[in-house]
A and B are shown apart, each in its own frame.
Chain A
Amino acid sequence: MPDQVTQTRQRIRELLVEMHGPDSFVRNVSDTVSLRQQGLSSAALVSLLVRMEDAFGFEWDDDIQPEVLRSISSLADHVVALRV
């Protein structure tokens, strides 16, 4: 499980780099910090969520809680929980 979480966080980080480039805020952002507070726009958030569906093979539920979308860590935890 810890490996799954680590790998998932890394994949989400790669998706963010694909979107924003290696020299963007992604390079220094920690796994637990709020992505919105680091400057991730609404459009970028939605783009990330769509890319995650493709990367991890799932669909977001309509009733997803906002806390899940807060950080790389919370996003990864959600993906891993779906696979349990």
Chain B
Amino acid sequence: MTAVLGTPTAVTPEASIRWCPVPPPYGPREQSEAGRQAAAAALAAAGSAVRAVPRATGGRPDFPRGYPGSIAHTDRMAVAAVVPGAAGVGVDIEDAAVTERMARFVLNDRERRTLLAPAGRHSPVELFSAKEAAFKALAGTVVADGLLFWRIGLVRSDAGLVASFGGLSMPVWVCSEAGSSFALAVRRYGTEEPEGNGRSTADGGSGEQ
């Protein structure tokens, strides 16, 4: 079961993050409803008069204009984050085991060497979650078309992690507890990487085995 995790250290102060437990029998319908409830609570906390989050084409949640957000859930817990004024928001929670093989699949050599222990301070499930959150925050951008989440690159930063792909970059905050991980990615307007620093499909990821 996914516990309610603490807010990551130094997370952007404008973020409204709300959790909602999934009721029995913990099926897709209950998970979706818990996600909508978490989103409504996060929107209320952010000051939005509109609290409904219908599904857009493709099933993505359609947050009110000016209040971009994201929803994630496991079979027992849902979470939503809203960051007014952001260009894109992505949130993810993971309680699945990320095996060494899976970590090698989604993380490239540099990420494994610098971000995982002992050189780094992150666990495989945190980095998995960070890439998934960044993937959601890129939704709707040109680079998101056909993107596989593990091709997003991660590097260490003072506040946590920076995710980048196709010239777009964003901070990602992560925290974990008892095998569950939470990640929040917030993409701002005007945060494109300088020409030549964007990660391409070829080096951004790691389908590497």
Partner of B132, one of A42, A60, A63: A42
Q: Map CB proximity to A onto B94-138 as digits: 1 under 8 Å, 0 otherwise.
A: 101011011001100000000000000000000010001000000
Q: Count of chain B residues with Cβ under 8 Å from any Cβ of A?
A: 24
Cβ–Cβ < 8 Å partners of A42 in chain B: 128, 132, 149
State which size class the interface on A falls in.
20 to 34
- Asked if B68 is an interface residue, CB under 8 A from chain A, the answer is no
- Asked if A66 is an interface residue, CB under 8 A from chain B, the answer is yes
The answer to whether A62 and B206 touch across the interface, beta carbons within 8 angstroms, is yes
Shortest Cβ gap from B150 to chain A (Å): 7
Cβ–Cβ < 8 Å partners of A39 in chain B: 28
The answer to whether A46 and B59 touch across the interface, beta carbons within 8 angstroms, is no
A41 to B209, CA, bound (A): 20
Closest residue to B209 on the A side, CB-wise? Answer: A59
Cβ–Cβ < 8 Å partners of A66 in chain B: 146-148
- Asked if B207 is an interface residue, CB under 8 A from chain A, the answer is yes
- Asked if B202 is an interface residue, CB under 8 A from chain A, the answer is yes
The answer to whether A63 and B201 touch across the interface, beta carbons within 8 angstroms, is yes
Cβ–Cβ < 8 Å partners of A47 in chain B: 96, 99, 102
- Asked if B208 is an interface residue, CB under 8 A from chain A, the answer is yes
The answer to whether B208 and A62 touch across the interface, beta carbons within 8 angstroms, is yes
Tell me the residues in window 30-84 of chain A with beta carbons closer than 8 Å to chain B beta carbons.
37, 39, 41-44, 46-47, 49-50, 53, 59-66, 69
**How many A-B contacts are there with CB distance less than 8 Å?**
48
A44 to B128, CA, bound (A): 12
A21 to B149, CA, bound (A): 26
- Asked if B205 is an interface residue, CB under 8 A from chain A, the answer is yes
Cβ–Cβ < 8 Å partners of B150 in chain A: 46
Cβ–Cβ < 8 Å partners of A59 in chain B: 209
Cβ–Cβ < 8 Å partners of B106 in chain A: 46
Shortest Cβ gap from B127 to chain A (Å): 12
Closest residue to B146 on the A side, CB-wise? Answer: A66
Shortest Cβ gap from B23 to chain A (Å): 17
The answer to whether A53 and B209 touch across the interface, beta carbons within 8 angstroms, is yes
The answer to whether B146 and A46 touch across the interface, beta carbons within 8 angstroms, is no
Cβ–Cβ < 8 Å partners of A46 in chain B: 102, 105-106, 128, 150
The answer to whether B102 and A62 touch across the interface, beta carbons within 8 angstroms, is no
The answer to whether A43 and B206 touch across the interface, beta carbons within 8 angstroms, is no
The 10 listed contacts between A and B (C-beta, < 8 Å) are A37-B59, A42-B149, A46-B128, A47-B96, A50-B99, A59-B209, A60-B207, A62-B208, A64-B207, A66-B147
Closest 8 CB pairs of A and B: A43-B96, A62-B207, A59-B209, A50-B101, A46-B102, A60-B207, A66-B146, A42-B132
